[in-house]
Amino acid sequence: MELQDYIINDIKPVRITDKVSDLKLLFNQLTYSHIPVEKEGVYMGCISETDAHCFDGAITLEDCNYAIEGFFVRSTTIWLDVLEAFAQNDSNIMPILDQNNKYLGYYELNDIIHLFNETPFFAEPGGILIVEKGINDYSFSEISQIVESNDTKLLGAFVSKIEEDLATITLKISTTSLNEIIQSFRRYSYNIVSGHEDDSYLETLKRRSQYLDKYLNM
């Protein structure tokens, strides 16, 4: 389904000349964190429920326009960037403008998350593997080569954390038999953070270490 199919336009932007009391009433009727605001038919931004309840109900939105947040996405914005915009603005509603800055409607966060959950990264069966390597040492082409050299497919990968000079990469792989893939990553100097199956290679090393300690202590 196209992302544009998720555009909702049942709520029109409030006017900047409206009273804050009207905005508070609208928030009480809805579950949204923000409401779009327009001035003479032009989208200005959104005002949050938290800010709205801080203002005197008798004033207009124009009197507190400094609280309006100018975030939006385009109708052509891809879903991953839309999801990022939700996160950056701590909102559950995302206004949509066309290329001429005309307000088209909004996306609802739950719809975009549902779309995310339908991607192969979440929907397809497989295993999750988390690896880490120096930020200047890893490459996605190398990661793909390692996975595919083990006769399996990479369903998705993203950098889930960067800390100092170390990058953590989360992988979704089209198999739950991760042991051979884990060993391949180790040969390429990747540290294994987590694999959603028993890492028999590590368990073997532990058993050998325990056996060696027992032997040396005889």
Instruction: Using pLDDT thresholds of 50, 70 and 90, give the confidence band for residue 211.
Output: low
**What ranges do the domains of the chain cover?**
3-116, 120-198
For the stretch 48-58, pLDDT in tens is 999 999 999 99
Lowest model confidence (mean pLDDT) among 47-51, 69-73, 109-113: 109-113
pLDDT for the residue 218: 45
pLDDT for the residue 7: 94
Which is the CATH superfamily of the domain at 120-198?
ACT domain (3.30.70.260)
For the stretch 132-169, pLDDT in tens is 999 999 999 999 999 999 999 999 898 989 998 999 99
Residue type, 119: T
Angle at 47 between CA 79 and CA 24, to 5 degrees: 125
Instruction: Using pLDDT thresholds of 50, 70 and 90, give the confidence band for residue 202.
Output: very low
Per the model's pLDDT, the better-predicted residue between 203 and 146 turns out to be 146
pTM of the model: 0.68
SS3 107: strand
Whether the per-residue pLDDT at 28 is higher than 90: the answer is yes
Instruction: Using pLDDT thresholds of 50, 70 and 90, give the confidence band for residue 73.
Output: very high
Pick the CATH number of 3-116 from 3.40.50.1100, 2.60.120.620, 3.10.580.10, 3.40.50.720: 3.10.580.10
Whether the per-residue pLDDT at 208 is higher than 60: the answer is no
Residue 20 CB partners (closer than 8 Å, separation 6+): 52, 55, 56, 57, 58, 59, 60, 61, 64
| Closest listed residue to residue 102, CA positions, set 2, 6, 7 | 7
Q: How far apart are CA 218 and CA 211, in angstroms?
A: 11
